[in-house]
């Protein structure tokens, strides 16, 4: 059976959405734009949800200019109190989703009681004291926690700890969904992909490409000169949405304009599913990414110098790094025997299907149209 295990962090985000719908969506897409636009890696994957959760956990412990800068980035504008409670949210069903947080703190540092209570209540997070001087032991404790929360998909997050470390705010997310309409692996074959390497050079490569002819929602987004396709997971509100540039070399323009996109526009309720011949490459990669430069560019500065986190601890601190490691794997799988029969039934069809050939660099998001769990760019699917 698929298991659903979720922490309060998602509830908080939904509470924010209810209060400031459009604003929160803009935060998400501007963070996605910030990450994709500031990295020249051809393949990128990260979790906007984790980034926002981590920043919120800092925000409720911040004062002065540190607080103002985070408030500005998160677009709270003093209008919404993160500390108010929220109830009655529908969570996505039938996908495996685990989101967790923990604050690892040096043994000789005191964390204020109020802060401990707040992160417990809002993020289901707890404080665990470790000896950062004993790098081998502390790293093992932290990496084991991450490995467990990610079902071993990320076995090692940190290399070592330093004696000068004061605290580490850990967050983890694990997601697994089965396609509502699985791909038939017999129809997967090598097809051309106009890839982009890390130097931005064009190269046509052959990649394993899945094929399915079925009904999908797809629409044009003019500002991005791109088309979307929604590929739903089974029995849930969660989907993967692909943004495919109309031009072979349109990925940069698409990423540059992402900021103006609202998460709402990814799914237009008025779009009726239509018959589409979908070619989608299989892909699997991981990425380690330092998000500090992007956050500095977005105006979060004091946090990285002399942070005012006086609502967490009196110890003088500065944040040295905001590091994410993420993995993604997209394939035909998840298909049960019953699901495979569905494929066979739909693979042969009439000729009216529109083509949607994902044969050039594209952007993807995994979303339930409230929250964006993962986002990324694929320039080279091999």
Ligand X SMILES: *[C@@H]1O[C@H](CO)[C@@H](O)[C@H](O)[C@H]1NC(C)=O
Q: Name the site residues for ligand X (rule: CB under 6 A).
A: 5-7, 40, 63-65, 94, 106, 108-109, 124, 126, 133, 148, 163-164, 178, 199-200, 202, 234-235, 248-249, 308, 310, 315, 338
Q: Give Cβ neighbours of residue 257 (< 8 Å, ≥ 6 apart).
A: 223, 224
Cβ atoms 92, 175 nearer than 8 A: no
Closer of 33 and 308 to ligand X (Cβ): 308
Closer of 144 and 262 to ligand X (Cβ): 144
Closer of 159 and 199 to ligand X (Cβ): 199
Cβ of residue 7: shortest distance to ligand X, in angstroms? 4
- Gap between the Cα atoms of 281 and 113, Å rounded: 50
Closer of 89 and 234 to ligand X (Cβ): 234
Closer of 100 and 266 to ligand X (Cβ): 100
Cβ atoms 358, 281 nearer than 8 A: yes
List, as one string, the DSSP characters of 331-375.
-S-S--HHHHHHHHHHHS--TTPEEEE--S-EEEEEE-SS-EEEE
Q: Which residue is nearest to ligand X (CB)?
A: 64
Cβ of residue 353: shortest distance to ligand X, in angstroms? 24
Closer of 142 and 261 to ligand X (Cβ): 142
DSSP 3-state of 304 = helix
- Gap between the Cα atoms of 43 and 23, Å rounded: 28
Residue 52 CB-half CA count within 13 A: 31
Closer of 203 and 262 to ligand X (Cβ): 203
Closer of 7 and 171 to ligand X (Cβ): 7
Residue 198 burial (CB count, 10 A): 12
Cβ of residue 144: shortest distance to ligand X, in angstroms? 6
Using CB atoms within 10 A of its CB, is residue 203 exposed (0-12), middle (13-18) or buried (19+)? Answer: exposed
Cβ of residue 352: shortest distance to ligand X, in angstroms? 27
Cβ atoms 105, 111 nearer than 8 A: yes
Cβ of residue 265: shortest distance to ligand X, in angstroms? 27
- Gap between the Cα atoms of 185 and 110, Å rounded: 55
- Gap between the Cα atoms of 293 and 299, Å rounded: 10
Cβ of residue 328: shortest distance to ligand X, in angstroms? 19
Cβ of residue 270: shortest distance to ligand X, in angstroms? 26
Cβ of residue 113: shortest distance to ligand X, in angstroms? 17
The dihedral over CA atoms of 121, 123, 125, 131, expressed in degrees to the nearest 10, equals -130
Strand partners for 206: 192
DSSP 3-state of 238 = coil
- Gap between the Cα atoms of 178 and 93, Å rounded: 12
Closer of 122 and 258 to ligand X (Cβ): 122
Cβ of residue 237: shortest distance to ligand X, in angstroms? 13
The dihedral over CA atoms of 241, 212, 356, 265, expressed in degrees to the nearest 10, equals -20
């Amino acid at each position: 059976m698929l298991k659903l295990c979720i922490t309060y962090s998602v509830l908080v985000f939904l509470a924010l959405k209810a209060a400031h719908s459009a604003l929160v969506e803009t935060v998400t897409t501007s963070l996605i734009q910030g990450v994709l636009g500031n990295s020249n890696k051809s393949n990128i994957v990260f979790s906007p949800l984790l980034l926002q959760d981590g920043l919120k956990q800092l925000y409720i412990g911040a004062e002065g200019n540190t607080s103002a800068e985070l408030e500005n980035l998160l677009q709270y504008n003093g209008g919404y109190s993160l500390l108010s409670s929220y109830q009655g949210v529908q969570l996505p069903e039938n996908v495996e989703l685990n989101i967790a947080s923990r604050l690892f703190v040096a043994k000789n540092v005191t964390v204020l009681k109020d802060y401990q209570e707040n992160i417990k209540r809002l993020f289901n997070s707890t404080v665990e004291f470790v000896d950062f001087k004993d790098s081998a032991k502390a790293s093992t404790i932290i990496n084991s926690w991450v490995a467990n929360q990610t079902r071993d998909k990320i076995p090692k997050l940190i290399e070592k700890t330093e004696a000068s470390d004061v605290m580490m705010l850990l967050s983890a997310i694990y997601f697994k969904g089965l396609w509502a309409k699985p791909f038939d692996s017999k129809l997967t074959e090598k097809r051309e992909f106009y890839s982009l390497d890390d130097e931005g050079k064009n190269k046509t490569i052959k990649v394993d490409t899945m094929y399915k002819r079925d009904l999908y929602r797809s629409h044009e987004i003019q500002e991005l000169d791109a088309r979307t396709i929604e590929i739903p997971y089974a029995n849930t509100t969660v989907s993967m949405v692909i943004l495919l540039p109309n031009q072979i070399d349109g990925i940069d323009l698409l990423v540059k304009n992402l900021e103006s996109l609202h998460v709402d526009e990814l799914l237009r309720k008025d779009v009726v599913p239509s018959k589409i011949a979908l070619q989608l490459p299989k892909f699997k990669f991981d990425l380690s990414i330092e998000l500090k430069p992007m956050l500095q560019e977005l105006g979060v500065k004091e946090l990285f110098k002399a942070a005012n986190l006086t609502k967490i601890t009196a110890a003088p601190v500065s944040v040295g790094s905001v590091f994410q490691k993420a993995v993604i794997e997209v394939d035909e799988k998840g298909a049960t025997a019953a699901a495979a029969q569905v494929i066979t039934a739909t693979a042969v069809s009439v000729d009216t299907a529109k083509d949607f050939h994902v044969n050039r660099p594209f952007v993807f998001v995994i979303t339930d149209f409230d929250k964006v769990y993962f986002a990324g760019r694929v320039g080279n699917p091999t």
